[in-house]
Homo-oligomer: A and B are copies of this chain.
Amino acid sequence: MNDQFDFVEDGGVTSPAGFSACGVCAGLKRNGSADMALIVSDCDCSFAGTFTSNLFPAAPVRYCREICATSGKVRAVTVNSGVANACTGLEGYENAKKTAALTAEVLGFESSKVLVASTGRIGVQLPMNKLEKGIREAAKNLSHTGGSAAAHAIMTTDTRPKELAVSFVVDGKKVTVGGCCKGAGMIAPKMVTAPHATMLCFLTTDADAENAYLAEVLGKAVEASFNKITVDNDMSTNDTVLLMANGKSGMKISAKSAASDLFERAVQMIAEHLARSIVFDGEGVTKFVSVEVSGAVDKQDAELCARAIANSPLCKTAWFGCDPNWGRILAAAGYSGAVFSPENVTLFFDELPVVRGGLDAGTPENELAEILKRREFSVKINLGEGNASCMVWTGDFTYDYVKINADYHT
Please give the residue numbers on chain A whose beta carbons come within 8 Å of chain B beta carbons, in ascending order. Answer: 53-56, 84, 86-89, 121-123, 185-186, 188, 190, 232-237, 311-314, 317-318, 320-321, 323, 325-328, 330-335, 338-340, 342-343, 355, 357-360, 397-399, 401-403, 405-409
Measured CB to CB, the closest approach of chain B to A235, in angstroms, equals 4
Q: Is the pair A335, B87 in contact by a Cβ cutoff of 8 Å?
A: no
Q: Is the pair B408, A360 in contact by a Cβ cutoff of 8 Å?
A: no
Q: Is the pair A321, B89 in contact by a Cβ cutoff of 8 Å?
A: no
- Provide a sorted-by-A list of 26 A–B residue pairs whose CB atoms are within 8 angstroms: A55-B333, A55-B335, A55-B339, A55-B342, A56-B331, A87-B327, A88-B359, A89-B358, A121-B327, A123-B330, A123-B359, A234-B314, A234-B331, A234-B332, A234-B335, A235-B335, A236-B331, A237-B330, A314-B405, A317-B401, A320-B406, A321-B408, A323-B409, A397-B402, A398-B402, A399-B403
Interface centre among A318, A330, A331, A332 (most CB of B within 10 A): A331
Q: Is the pair B313, A234 in contact by a Cβ cutoff of 8 Å?
A: yes
Residues in B with CB closer than 8 Å to A342 are 55-56, 87
Q: Is the pair A321, B401 in contact by a Cβ cutoff of 8 Å?
A: no
CA distance A191 to B11 in the complex (A): 49
Q: Is the pair B234, A312 in contact by a Cβ cutoff of 8 Å?
A: yes
Residues in B with CB closer than 8 Å to A235 are 331, 334-335
Residues in B with CB closer than 8 Å to A408 are 321, 323, 325
Residue of B nearest to A123 (CB): B327
Residues in B with CB closer than 8 Å to A330 are 56, 87, 122-123, 237
Q: Is the pair B313, A237 in contact by a Cβ cutoff of 8 Å?
A: no
Residues in B with CB closer than 8 Å to A87 are 327, 330, 342, 355, 358-360
Measured CB to CB, the closest approach of chain B to A332, in angstroms, equals 7
Residues in B with CB closer than 8 Å to A55 are 333-335, 338-340, 342
CA distance A357 to B188 in the complex (A): 26
CA distance A334 to B121 in the complex (A): 16
Interface centre among A311, A335, A340 (most CB of B within 10 A): A335
Measured CB to CB, the closest approach of chain B to A102, in angstroms, equals 24
Given contacts A234-B331, A313-B405, A317-B405, 12 further A-B contacts (CB under 8 A): A56-B330, A87-B330, A186-B331, A188-B335, A190-B335, A232-B312, A232-B313, A233-B312, A313-B401, A325-B408, A397-B402, A399-B402
Measured CB to CB, the closest approach of chain B to A287, in angstroms, equals 11
Q: Is the pair B402, A359 in contact by a Cβ cutoff of 8 Å?
A: no
Residues in B with CB closer than 8 Å to A401 are 313, 317, 402
Known contacts A326-B123, A409-B323, A331 near B54 by CB under 8 Å:
yes
CA distance A86 to B312 in the complex (A): 18
Q: Is the pair B232, A327 in contact by a Cβ cutoff of 8 Å?
A: no
Residues in B with CB closer than 8 Å to A406 are 317-318, 320-321, 323, 398
Residue of B nearest to A232 (CB): B313
Among candidates B237, B323, B331, B360, residue contacting A327 with C-beta atoms closer than 8 Å: B237
